[in-house]
Amino acid sequence: MDLFQAGLATIAGGGVLALLVAAARRERLAVLVATAALIAGAAVAAWPAGRVLAGAPPLEARAAWSVPGGEWALGVDRLSAFFVVTVLGLAAAAGVYGAGYLEHYRGKKALGPPLLFFNLLPVALCVVCAARNAVLFLVAWEVMTLLAFLLVGFEDEKEEVRSAGLTYLVVSHVATLLVVLFFLVLGREAGSLDFATMAAAAARRPLPAGLGAALFALAVLGFGTKAGIWPLHIWLPEAHPAAPSHVSAVLSGVLVKTAIYALVRALTLLGPAPAWWGVALIVIGAAPIGLVALAFVRPARRGYPGPR
């Protein structure tokens, strides 16, 4: 676990150093520093996660944290490892592309802040995947949201970019309120905000059917909005095109998928799941496919060739 945390610290430290170098008007060097730190840190952090994914024992690290109900509790099991390796791999590749992409803006826009924000984003995503305490999870979740907002707004001189960023921020925080409510209610039932305690309490004493259904709905709405599931995806068509290309790759490739991870992790904390939860998730996932199929079939029935 030390290697995992060291890798994340390397990525974050490279972003901070890049900000300082860019402030000294050495922007090309700043881009190189941020990119090199991202690649090196991703390799270091991905190594232990990859070992877990290959069958090694899960990793865990805990430390005291002077926050009510909070604890620095990280864990990498095979579920977390799959998402961590994906996040780090895609972020490193996008960072390499971004180094060339930002060259066009050198001397035109300050590059230090977006370099810092981009390096911090995969760190926040990995902490979301590894958090084993609700307070730590929510802190990382909020940091992830704010970093994505700042990166989407890179070209904030454009009205459409500002509008897309505001839509993303508002919708994301409505979803976050639902996620906070989910953990508060579940934590009250379990008597702790520790994930292991929550899961053990639900396994030992199943939640009442009504409460379980309410928590299921909160999880689907809260995490599903961030994942861009239909019809909660209103922020996605605006934010992704507005973001720089390498940022959009991370948003599309891993940020929305991290929300799927969070939904799966949250549902594991609720104990045995009734069959209708699975049916509901299948329907939610299949609905967009049905709508797309209708868009093609209905015009054809009227004698039109349909969308091209």
pLDDT tens across 105-153, in order?
A: 887 888 899 999 999 999 999 999 999 999 999 999 999 999 999 998 8
Q: Which residues lie closer than 8 Å to 110 by C-beta, 6 or more apart?
A: 22
Which run of H or of E encompasses 73? strand 72-76
Given a cut of 80, is residue 232 above it in pLDDT? Answer: no
Q: Which of 60-69, 112-121, 170-179, 231-240 has the lowest mean pLDDT?
A: 231-240
Element (H, E) at 269: none
18-29 pLDDT per residue, tens: 999 998 888 899
Query: In the chain, which ranges are continuous DSSP H helix?
Result: 2-23, 27-53, 78-101, 112-130, 134-152, 159-190, 195-204, 209-227, 236-242, 245-250, 256-268, 275-301
- Does residue 67 carry a pLDDT above 90? no
pLDDT at 11 over 90: yes
Cβ contact 38:122 at 8 Å: yes
pLDDT of 307 over the 80 cut: no
- How many residues belong to the chain? 308
pLDDT score, position 303: 52
Residue 266 has pLDDT above 80, yes or no: yes
What backbone torsions phi and psi does residue 131 show, to the nearest 5 degrees?
-60, 140
Lowest mean pLDDT among 168-172, 229-233, 275-279: 229-233
Which one is predicted more confidently, 112 or 68?
A: 112
What pTM did the predictor assign? Answer: 0.88
For residues 79 and 264, the answer to whether their CB atoms sit within 8 Å is yes
The Cα–Cα gap between 128 and 122 comes to 10
CA distance 65 to 140: 14
Neighbouring C-beta atoms of residue 23, cutoff 10 Å: 13
CA 23 to chain centre: 29
40 vs 169, residue with greater confidence:
40
Residue 299 has a pLDDT of: 56
The pLDDT of residue 109: 83
Residue 151: strand, helix, or coil:
helix
Least confident among 42-46, 48-52, 97-101, 127-131: 97-101
Distance from CA of residue 281 to its chain's centroid? 20
How far is residue 248 from each of residues 149, 165, 188, measured CA to CA in Å?
A: 11, 13, 38
In sequence order, the 6+-apart residues with CB closer than 8 A to the CB of 52 are 58, 59, 76, 77, 78, 80, 81
Backbone angles phi, psi at 60, to 5 degrees: -150, 145
pLDDT of 155 above 90:
no
Domain boundaries in the chain? 2-273, 275-308
Task: Report whether pLDDT(292) > 70.
Answer: no
In the predicted model, is pLDDT for residue 298 greater than 70? no
Mean per-residue pLDDT, 240-259: 86
Cα–Cα distance list, 112 to 40, 244, 249, 295 (Å)? 19, 15, 20, 45
